[in-house]
Amino acid sequence: MGEGDATRFGAEIEKICREHSLPLTSQRRVVLEALSVRPTHPTVDEIWEDVRRTMPDISRTTVYRILETFTRLRVIRKVCHPGTVARYESRTSRHHHLLCLQCGRMEDLDDAALDRLALPGKETGFQIEDYSIQFRGLCSQCVSPSDTGSRKRGSQAIGG
């Protein structure tokens, strides 16, 4: 967790809330903090578990609502994952994803060349803001399941 991301919301969250006329609650602070510290693409429940260590009485509903609020404001993002549970990420700068079709593992991929693609033109009918590339395949552990202690998540018809 580079301090760049870990502290991203530390000072910024006050500005974010002020700009959007949102009350800055302690729940909002810890939820965004927990998301930015997580290196992966956590589910709502994973964030909830993290946050409960600091704030044991926070409700799961509140976590849902906070993530939804900030997603709509484009402060965080819901990641595109073929599983059935929602996953979030705090990075909104351009980057790409590696997805394992076998176990569902998803990792970030940074590649400056891939960040410079020309956007499709107006003929699409869309006003495009951004893009990201999803690379699909098998992660190292699913390619060579040498370690007998196999992955937790079974193969759940992941499609991409």
Partner DNA sequence: CTGCCTGCAAACGATTTGCACCAGC
Partner DNA sequence: GCTGGTGCAAATCGTTTGCAGGCAG
Q: Which residues bind DNA (CB under 7 A)?
A: 17, 22-28, 43-45, 55, 57-62, 64-66, 68-69, 84-86, 156-157
Instruction: Quote the least distance from Cβ 14 to DNA, whole Å.
Output: 8
**Residue 60: which of a second copy, DNA, none does it interact with, CB under 5 to 8 A by kind?**
DNA
Span from 13-21, 45-53, 54-62, 94-102 in contact with a second copy (CB under 8 A): 94-102
Q: Between 9 and 48, how does the x/- string for binding to a second copy read (CB under 8 A)?
A: ----------------------------------------
Output 11 or 157, the one with its CB closest to a second copy: 157
- The DSSP 8-state label assigned to residue 9 in this structure reads H
DSSP characters over 27-91: HHHHHHHHHHH-SS--BHHHHHHHHHHH-TT--HHHHHHHHHHHHHTTSSEEE--SSSS-EEES-
- Contact by Cβ (8 Å): 99, 160: yes
CA 97/CA 18 separation, integer angstroms = 32
- Directed axis angle between helix 26-37 and helix 60-72, to 10°? 80
**Residue 27: which of DNA, a second copy, none does it interact with, CB under 5 to 8 A by kind?**
DNA
95 binds a second copy (CB under 8 A): no
Give how far the C-alpha of residue 108 lies from the chain's centroid of Cα atoms, to the nearest Å.
10
Instruction: Quote the least distance from Cβ 116 to DNA, whole Å.
Output: 33
First to last CA, the chain: 27
Per CB under 8 A, which of residues 104..133 are in contact with a second copy?
107, 109, 111, 113-114, 117-120, 124-133
**Residue 28: which of a second copy, DNA, none does it interact with, CB under 5 to 8 A by kind?**
DNA
